[in-house]
Amino acid sequence: MPIVSVIQAGKSFGAERIFEGVNFQIDEHDRIGLVGPNGAGKTTLLNLLAGREEADEGNIALARNIRIGYLTQIPGRPGMAGNLLEWLERRDGRRGPRPLLPRQGGLAHD
């Protein structure tokens, strides 16, 4: 049983057609990636799935008790300018990547 179903979804902004006829479903335990060039409608599609915008046509349905979390590309909270890594660097006072490989009893960190 799908947890997300998208049927013939379409979205436009004014006269500019972003996408049309989009069909897919996401089943429980699926791992997905959304890849495409700038301007292809990736963020718009995620906004539709998260309920932040409505499709102009088609249907988007979520299974009961499904909630989609969404972290914007440009966070709107004060002090959150930049990307997530930059925010973490400011918060932690550290620069560069952090290892996230499992170690005994939790996540690896310095």
Domain chopping of the chain, boundaries? 2-62, 73-98
Distance of CA 60 to the CA centre of its chain: 15
Statement: residue 61 has pLDDT above 60: yes
Q: 4 with 45: CB under 8 angstroms?
A: no
Spatial distance between the Cα atoms of 85 and 81, rounded to a whole number of angstroms: 11
Q: Which residue has the tokens 């013939």?
A: 8
Q: How far apart are CA 102 and CA 76, in angstroms?
A: 32
Q: Which amino acid is at 74?
A: I
Top-ranked range on mean pLDDT: pick from 14-23, 35-44, 101-110: 14-23
pLDDT, average across residues 84-88: 71
Show the tokens assigned to 16: 């500019």
CB contact set of 99 (below 8 Å; sequence gap of 6+): 108, 109
Cut 0.75: pTM above it: no
| Fold that domain 2-62 belongs to in CATH | Rossmann fold (3.40.50)
